[in-house]
Each structure stands twice: as C-alpha cells, then as structure tokens.
Homo-oligomer: A and B are copies of this chain.
C-alpha cells in the first residue's frame, strides 16, 4: 500500500469566534497526509520556503510520512490568513501570499512513481495533470478543486477530470462546475466529465457520495465545540483515501466505510486549531468515533 499526495504546505493565520492562531502549520497536503498517516504510508509532494522550520518536518516524519518529495525553494512558504464567523461553514480569506508556491513545479521522486492511490489536492489543474504524467497509472486517482479553478481555468480542469476517478468538492462548487442548481442532476453532469464517483462535501451537514453504488449520505459528527474548520476537507480526504489504500478494495461498501473514516478525521480536526488535535490522536479514538457514526445513523427496517 502506498498513497501519493500533491498539494500545499503552508503557514495559516486563523481567527474564529473561539480564538486566534498565528503562523501555524497548515496547507492541504499537510492536513491530508497527517489524517491519512493513521491508515497507510504517505508520500508527500509539495514545496516550502527557507523559513519553514525543521520541527514541522520532524512532525511529518514522526507520522511516518515520506517527505523526500517536499522541495525547499528560495523564498518564503505559502501563507494564508482567514477568519470564520459563527457560521463556521465558510472561510473569509483576508490574505493569500503564494510565495514559493507561485512557481511550484511538482517533481515526483523516483521511489514515488508506482503508488497504489493518488490524491491531487486543490492546486492548479495543470500541475495536477503533470503529477499524473510522471507516474505509473495507479488504481485510484482522486482530486479536489475550488471555485478559483472552476471559473478561471475550466478547460484545464476538465482535462484533468477526464483522468480522475473520484472528485471531492464542496456543494456550491459542484453546482458551479455542472452549471446546475439541483445536486442530483449536477452529480450526473460531473460524472460525465470523467470521475465515476463524486463526493460532495457539505461542512456541518456531512457528505454525499454519488457513485456506481447509488447515493450514500453521511452526516457530520455533531460537535459541541468546533474551534477551527480549517483543513476539515483535506482531513476528510486523508481519512477517506488513507482507508481505501489500506484495504485496497474500491467497491461500494469500502467507499462508504472510507467516507465515514473521512468524516471521523474531519470531526477530530475541527476540535482544535491547526493540526493540534490530530497530533494527540490515537487509532482507538478513531475506531470509537466510527462506531459513534453507526449509532448516530442507525434505524431499524420495517417488518
């Protein structure tokens, strides 16, 4: 089993109604890798600047994440600043400094070139494709994207989607990509672009999966304290892909279980700033919350 991810490693400054965190470890590939590392071996492709401290690299290595593909370039690490109101579903971006990410050219190391599954986190769709073209075709390719690429580079995004098995995006982005307000119809449009499976992330409302197995609806875990939603989507993707790579089974039943593991990892991640909650997480807690999702959704059949 081996899982390759390409995405961002960043410093985040985040303000929520519950507190403030400045210049903490963030980035899509960071959240993804850390969540996935509870299930499988992760190979990371990303870029950081000269200011990226050794302690963060040690953290990733301690999670047994392979950082051979983490390039260090001249300049500063990608920085994002945002805030959330009481409606924690939506981030308001205050500042984005791409820095070394602006000229990022993903280089896949030789020992990464035969992965079982691949996750292309939310980066330029041209770069997503460049990663795919450097490796042997894996069992499953999943990707994320955002409104910025849907409106700004739609043609390139569509070329990438043609090579993708699973697309994970937010609800509004699914509607925008399909040009269709009804989600069930939108899913069919997106599936016609390439991905046989579409996973729609709905924040505190959970996730919907549209696949060959029909539709699967998963709730979010009802939490008493959501501290910081940053990274929830990438932690979700990490739990989802990490589990799939671990079981090496991609049938409908496994995809459904993977969605729940993704939801579990997202629910832990939002309990604290940055990756703080995942840092102290134990696999027994993950299994225990998985079972709580069963209790949360179970109802009897009719006679």
By beta carbon, the residue of chain B nearest A226 is B182
Q: Within 8 Å CB of A260, what residues of B?
A: 299
Task: State the CA gap A287–B301 with chains docked (Å).
Answer: 10
Q: Within 8 Å CB of A215, what residues of B?
A: 222, 296
Q: Which of B86, B182, B302 is within 8 Å of A287, CB to CB?
A: B302
Most B Cβ at <10 Å: residue of A17, A219, A290, A294: A219
Query: How many interface residues does A have (CB within 8 Å)?
Result: 40
Q: Is A137 an interface residue (CB 8 A)?
A: no
Q: Within 8 Å CB of A135, what residues of B?
A: none
A-side interface residues toward B, CB under 8 Å? 17, 86, 181-185, 202, 205-206, 208, 214-219, 222-226, 253, 256-257, 259-260, 287, 290-291, 293-302
Contact yes or no, A299 B259, CB < 8 A: yes
Contact yes or no, A297 B297, CB < 8 A: yes
Q: Within 8 Å CB of A222, what residues of B?
A: 183-184, 208, 215, 217
CB A133 to nearest CB in B, in angstroms, measures 35
CB A251 to nearest CB in B, in angstroms, measures 11
Q: Within 8 Å CB of A206, what residues of B?
A: 205, 217, 219
By beta carbon, the residue of chain B nearest A301 is B294
Contact yes or no, A302 B257, CB < 8 A: yes
Q: Within 8 Å CB of A291, what residues of B?
A: 301-302
Query: Closest 5 A-B residue pairs measured CB to CB?
Result: A217-B219, A256-B299, A205-B205, A86-B181, A184-B224
Q: Within 8 Å CB of A256, what residues of B?
A: 298-300
Task: State the CA gap A86–B299 with chains docked (Å).
Answer: 32
